[in-house]
Amino acid sequence: MKKPTRRADRPATVAASAEPAPMPTLAHAPMSDIIDALAAGRVTATALTKFYLARIEAYDRHGPMLNAVRALNPDALTIAGKLDDTRPSVKRPLAGVPILIKDNIATSDRQPTTAGSLALEGARARRDATVVKLLRNAGAVILGKANLTEFANILAMDMPSGYSSLGGQVKNPYAPALMDDRGIPVVSPGGSSSGSAVAVAAGLCAASIGTETSGSLLFPASQNGLVTVKPTVGLISRAGIVPIAHSQDTAGPMTRNVRDAALLLNVLAAKDPRDPVTLRQRRPADYTAGLASDVMKGARIGVPSDPADPLNDPYYGKLAPKWTKVMTEAIKVMEDLGAVVVRASMPTAGWMAGPGTTMAVFNRNPLSRNKGNPMMQSVVFLYELKHDLNLYLKDWATNTEIKTIADIVAFNEAHAEKALRFGQDLFLAANATRGDLSEREYKSARAMDLLAAKTRGMDAYINQHKLDAVLFPGSMGAAIAAKAGYPSVMVPGGFVSGADDKDTPDYPLGITFAGSAWSEHKLLRLAYAFEQASNMRKPPPGLPAL
């Protein structure tokens, strides 16, 4: 990919002499190409916003009815109109770029912030979340709120990805079919940020913002052929984001290529007194710097799969043949680029949960195959949920009578027919905690999570083998990196098919580069080199230009 010419008055992605591109090509164009078109005056913010609104109407509301966009911003066109005379620049790199944000990220405008819950229908926020403020300052047009798994998938066990009682079910654009008996997707749209991912994959926005506690950026990016960055906890402010667990929560970009993810990270990675953990962040001046095709040469990539130790192979040992083929070909690409691939098992003490880190919760989901059985869940998630969600409802939520997690539980029970299709067993368990994080079992569980995943897991593995990154199939390494608070970068790796013994169309599978704290820049460079050599992203079929 030719490196664009940089000028003092334009961001790094803006080419001074780009060839004109017809409007329809923008549907699946990288955000950087869209910025180029805006900077060159080939398209206005208003025309671009209308373009995406038309695609949302055609493919999200009608046609395959992807249901990725929970609600549109009623002021989007007004905002775009005010930006028509503003070109992207170093100061405002996203001027006129329409972006969707997940509906657990607060906005102080006329858009509700609901986390997909009927209990929070109509709830608004006192102020913009910090990530929204940064996007607005950079000139972005907030196009609307993306649908999600309700409360970011902490309401009920076995709730399907992308389902919320307020927004309904998100569909995978590569394979949108639903199971006839339950209305659940045959091919998952991904984790709780599924609406954010599907919208980008389907060409409904230039880019989107999602959130993750453990896998909710990585899984939907993998299922939808996207790039995402699950950053080090503390790189991006969580202030104004409906929480699950502050120990692991973060926001992140969802884009069509690595450069776009780096561009958004430039905007989003900022210190914020409202989220004190960001005050210790470390970041480069420009995440797009050094994105080159030759950076893989000499890089040490850990593949946690040792043929001499087949029993300790949780990440590669039980992959389906089509997954194995994708990963084998991806590893060959890296070796051809000069990477040193280190095949060694992850220490068992790392990937297995430490003592006391999980607790049994009774599964009350009426549609679950495990209904009536106790299932092991994260202690940290359930104890931090009550504490953190109550603080959000107190400090951020307005225009609602819901003030605590107990209020949500009561509302759901009173409106069970609509609100509790899949139950609320996790909220019931969380509500039974004290809510002040004073319990010894919580403190022990958090310490053991860090000991297992960080000290005896990622740190031990990376240090022992002197690795630049650890390579995981799909989102299978999400939990260990998330518990450690470490970053991961997802990039499209190939295509697979089949789900639950059913034949399906081909859909994407991503690969994950994970690393130590604040290593996002290194991971982005490695992902970029792989992306340029493999060129694995293909838009979903059946969503042509209008």
* pLDDT range class, residue 6, cuts 50, 70, 90: very low
Which pLDDT tens digit goes with each residue over 64-79? Answer: 999 999 999 999 999 9
Please give the pLDDT value at position 60: 98
HSE (CB half, 13 Å, CA atoms) of 76? Answer: 25
Q: Among 102, 171, 454, 483, which one carries the catalytic annotation?
A: 102
Going by C-alpha positions, the residue among 77, 84, 92 that lies closest to residue 14 is: 92
| pLDDT exceeds cutoff 70 at 20 | no
Annotation marks residue 216 as catalytic: yes
**pLDDT (average), residues 101-113:** 98
Q: Where are the domains of the chain?
A: 30-295+472-534
Place of tokens 């929970």: 70
- Averaged pLDDT for residues 470-495: 98
Catalytic residue among 161, 193, 216, 345: 216
Round the average pLDDT of the chain to a whole number and report it.
94
- Predicted confidence (pLDDT) per residue in 157-205, tens digit: 999 999 999 999 999 999 999 987 778 999 999 999 999 999 999 999 9
Give the tens place of pLDDT for each residue, 301-311. 999 999 999 99
**pLDDT tens digits for 228-266?**
999 999 999 999 999 999 999 999 999 999 999 999 999
Closest CA to 315 of 464, 477, 462: 477
Q: Of 161, 165, 192, 475, which residue is the catalytic one?
A: 192
**pTM of the predicted model as reported, rounded to 2 decimal places:** 0.95
Q: Is residue 251 within 8 Å of residue 238, measured between CB atoms?
A: yes
| pLDDT number for residue 501 | 87
Has 89 been annotated as catalytic?
no
For residues 24 and 26, give the distance between their C-alpha atoms in angstroms, rounded to a whole number: 5
Confidence of residue 26 (pLDDT cuts 50, 70, 90): confident
Q: Quick one: average pLDDT of 28-44?
A: 96
Residue 192 annotated in active site: yes
Q: Does the structure show a pLDDT above 70 at 382? A: yes
Q: Take residue 449 and report the two structure tokens written for it.
A: 């999570």
| pLDDT for res 3 | 37
The span from the first CA to the last CA of the chain, in angstroms, equals 28
Please report the pLDDT score of residue 500 as a whole number. 85
Q: What's the pLDDT band for 21 if we cut at 50, 70, 90?
A: very low
CATH T-level assignment (fold) for domain 30-295+472-534: Amidase signature (AS) enzymes (3.90.1300)
